[in-house]
Structures are given as structure tokens and as C-alpha cells.
Amino acid sequence: MEIKELTLENLDPENFIQEKSREISSAVGDGIAINALSGGVDSSAVTVLCHRALGDKLKTYFIDNGIMRDGEPERVVSLFSKMGIPVELVDARSEFFDALKGLTDPEEKREAITQTFYRKVFSRIVKESGARYLLHGTIYTDVEETIAGIKRQHNILEQLGIDTEKEFGYSVLEPLIQLRKPAVREIAKALGLPEEIYNRPPFPGPALVARVIGEVTPERIETVRKATVIVEEELSGKGAFQCMAVLHGNRVTGMRDGKRDYGLQIEVRCWDSTDATTAKPTRLPFEVLERLAERITNDVPGIVSVTYNITSKPPSTMEVV
């Protein structure tokens, strides 16, 4: 891998911000750039960094792809608008669900998301806005995992030999590409982002699709979204690196009101990790697991079974897709 990592120990956040602002500003010149904000720490840091460097020449979009967590699009747009950064909400839900229709293979699902973002949605926004640059929150670990062939992260393009100018009609600038997550958090903090953003647990680019085994439909996303609300209410803020609900592919036999009920199964995952390259399942108290099972089977329609993952990464990965 040609990109040189900039470690947390060697990072001077103020210098980094100034240097990257200068680079972005000279690359974009008098032109216009766009960026997509998801509300995660990486894209939030890019948004504020580039807003500082480019001012009105940066146009920020939140792509509502239909696969985000409950209330996320509105929450993120409103938070940034309070910070004086206007964000345009783009409704692309049907494009993403159309692209995912019928797909069950994990890599095909990831590829469908990549193509919908970069070939369809961003190409259209770039044309409409007159921008030539897409500013992107790719970080060192995304490149590392993709190059290692573990998972194709949705935002990796150039490092896989994709010429974005030729393929999609715009250039991609990646100011955070030398940093791992802890260093990105330092930059986000130095940029004045609130703690709820700079300390936010990671969330994958393919969003809830990374947590659906089998076909992705609006109904199946709604199921995993509802379970995610419960899992995050019960497990967030207790020191775990990341927690998640996963929807399994097959129906399992359950029972309700004394009768057989073929239903769905949710798997809960909760990880202890420092940088996501390795991870261990959190040793949750059994009462917490029981409460999760009770709430998920009572409040998420169709669920008759809840399991807890007890495997480490490796050989597991953190997300299932």
C-alpha cells in the first residue's frame, strides 16, 4: 500500500488541519466541490475541514439511501445546520432498494451500494451542481481492509484502480486517508465538532445492509432498524466499541399463543476493540441479554429468536456482510 500512515503519536491536529485546508483549497481553486455527510466521525470531520477550506464553494449533501438508522437523516441535517453548515437532503431511497433487489451475496450487495452512490447519485449531483471534486472521508483502515481482500469498503475506488474522472466524471479528494479512527477523532475534536460526533461509535458505509443476511428489502431493513434502536438503547454508552443487531436470512420455528410461528431471528453483536482490526465479544451480564431478548421479541414484529455472538474477530468480522 503506497499511502503512508500518520500515527496518532505523530499527529499535530492544528498543523494537519492547516496543511489539509491549504491542499484542498489549492486543488479545488475557483471550482466547486461536493461532499456527502453521513453523520459518522469521518464524513463529519471532512465536512467541517472542507467547509473551513472552501466556504461556499463546498456543497454538502446527506444522501437518504433508505438504509440508515432510525431518524438519522433529519438528526444529522439539523445538527449541522445548528453549526452553520447547510446540508441538502437527497432522497435516493428507491434507487438504492432497486439496486439491491434480489441480491444475497455480500460482495454483490456492497458493489450495488458503491455503484449507486458513485455512478448514479454522485454523478447526478456533480452534473447538477457543476462540481468537479468529491471530498471523501476514506480512512487508512478502509484501504487496508479492502487491499487485504477482507471486505471491499464501499468508499474505496482509486486504490482498486478505478479512474473516477473517467468512470464517473469527477475527481475524489481524500484528506483523512493517512489516519486511523483514533486520529480522526482528534481531528474532529480539534475542528470543534461536539463530543456526540467525535466520540461516535463507528457505523459502516453500507449502513444497515451490512447487518442483513440475505435479500435487502424495505421491510427487512425496517426490522433490523427497529431492533437496532433497542440494542443501542440497551448497550450504547457502556464502553463497548460497537454494538449492533443483525437480521438472519432464514425463518426459524418459534411459538406464540401455544401455536407454531415461523419467525425471524435477530443476532446481537457487541464488540470490545481499539481499532476494529481485531475484536472480542463484550462479556455482557446475562440479565442484559435477557432484557434484549424480551424487548426485541415483544417490540419487533416477526422476531421469535434472539442470539448473542460469542466469536472473536478473527475469524469473525464485526459486521456480517
Helices (H), the chain: 13-28, 41-54, 72-82, 93-100, 106-115, 123-129, 140-147, 164-168, 181-190, 195-198, 218-235, 286-299
Distance CA 14, CA 32 (A): 25
**155 or 265: whose CB is closer to ligand XMP?**
155
| Cα 259 to Cα 280: distance, rounded to the nearest angstrom | 38
Query: Which of 94, 145, 114 minimizes the C-alpha distance to 36?
Result: 114
Least Cβ distance, residue 306 to ligand XMP (angstroms) = 20
Q: How far apart are CA 84 and CA 267, in angstroms?
A: 39
- The verdict on 313 binding ligand XMP (CB under 6 A) reads yes
* Binding piece for ligand XMP, criterion CB under 6 A, among 51-59, 121-129, 197-205, 294-302: 197-205
β-bridge mates for residue 89, sequence order: 62
Q: Does 185 bind ligand XMP (CB under 6 A)?
A: no
Q: Residue 279 CB, nearest distance to ligand XMP (Å)?
A: 7
CB of 266 to ligand XMP, least distance (A): 17
Q: Interaction with ligand XMP in 6-45: which residues (CB under 6 A)?
A: none
Strand 133-135 and strand 33-36: the pairing is parallel
Asked if 184 is part of the footprint of ligand XMP (rule: CB under 6 A), the reply reads no
Asked whether position 202 contacts ligand XMP by CB under 6 A, the answer is yes
Number of amino acids touching ligand XMP (CB under 6 A): 16
Q: What are phi and psi of 237, to 5 degrees?
A: 75, 10
CA 92 to chain CA mean position, Å: 16
231 binds ligand XMP (CB under 6 A): no
**Least distance to ligand XMP, CB of residue 125, Å:** 20
**Would you give the binding string for ligand XMP spanning residues 138-167, x where CB under 6 A is met?**
----x--x-----x-xx-------------
Distance of CA 286 to CAs 269, 294, 299, Å? 14, 12, 20
- Among residues 73, 204, 281, 302, which is the contact residue for ligand XMP, using CB under 6 A? 204
What is the binding site for ligand XMP (CB under 6 A)?
A: 142, 145, 151, 153-154, 202, 204-206, 210, 242, 276, 313, 317-319
